[in-house]
Amino acid sequence: MGLDLLCGVYLFAIQIYGDFSGYSDIARGVSKLMGIDLVINFRQPYFSKNIVEFWRRWHISLSQWLRDYLYIPLGGNRQGKWNMYRNLMITMLLGGLWHGASWVFVIWGGLHGACLAAYRIFKDSTKMVIRENSRKWSSAAISGISIFFTFHITSFIWVFFRSPDLRTASTYLLRVFNPAHWAHPNSPLLYVTIFYLLFTFLLDLPQYLAERELLVTSSTHWVWQSLTYTILILIVSFIGESYVQPFIYFQF
């Protein structure tokens, strides 16, 4: 039971990313056919090293709107640290309410606001310690640990976004962390979850390392393009649904 629920956390994190990023790419592609260039809305968000970077990579159009029309008009970081923390919380709470008038969205936004404020406090208070210890640890190790924790923080906060009410969300999380539900940690979902996690991260890794979009059409060799398109069609056929699933973000 506990392992099934944990797998559900990871699978929804992958689902909502694939859902929203996928149809954003479709919108960009259709617009490009008509000569309209839309902004990139996702930049490998699950490779973020902290929660601030996550919001620079996730739903970029909304993040910029919240920054320009809520956070900065509230005062941003120009009126002292405590006012900055307040502005972060107000901005993210309103960002949560934008998704729907429900307590789960308020909690989701509030948790992100609290994480953003906590990161600012942590960064300011440990700046010297991190600088000293960074000499002992490789940058790759620090980045890997940071990405691991950021991914898990955002994934567990998604539970509130997905749940229909607070009771469901709290019950879900309590059962995930309840040792009694881990008596027999054996689940067929585990292998499915590992596959989707590896597939998603490996798919994003080249673009993350290159720090730019890598397009199949950027290669002019027809053999390489044909092989790539064939592989993509096989992947879609293998992991695709047999019936049409509505996009999650169409409800917002």
Burial state string for 52-82 with b = 16 or more CB within 10 A and e = fewer than 16:
ebbbebbbbeebeebeeebbeebeeeeeeee
Q: Please report where in the chains the tokens 């694939």 appear, as a residue.
A: 18
For residue 198, name the pLDDT band (cuts at 50, 70, 90): very high
CA distance 110 to 116: 10
How large is the average pLDDT for residues 40-66?
95
**Catalytic position from the list 99, 112, 181, 184:** 99
The DSSP output letter for 181 is: G
Residue 10's H or E segment, with its range, is helix 2-33
**What are the backbone dihedrals phi and psi of residue 134, each rounded to the nearest 5 degrees, phi first?**
-65, -20
Active-site residue flag, 184:
no
- 229 within 8 A of 44, measured Cβ to Cβ: no
CA dihedral 241, 163, 56, 68 (to 10 degrees): 120
Higher-confidence position of 98 and 126: 98
* Confidence at residue 235, expressed as pLDDT on a 0 to 100 scale: 76
> Is the distance from CB of 181 to CB of 175 less than 8 angstroms?
yes
**pLDDT tens by residue, 130-147:** 555 555 556 778 889 999
The span from the CA of 47 to the CA of 59, in Å, is 14
Reference 208, options 37, 27, 48; nearest CA is: 48
Neighbours of 127 (CB within 10 A): 10
Q: Does residue 217 or residue 6 have the better pLDDT?
A: 6
Burial of 95 (0-12, 13-18, 19+ CB in 10 A): buried
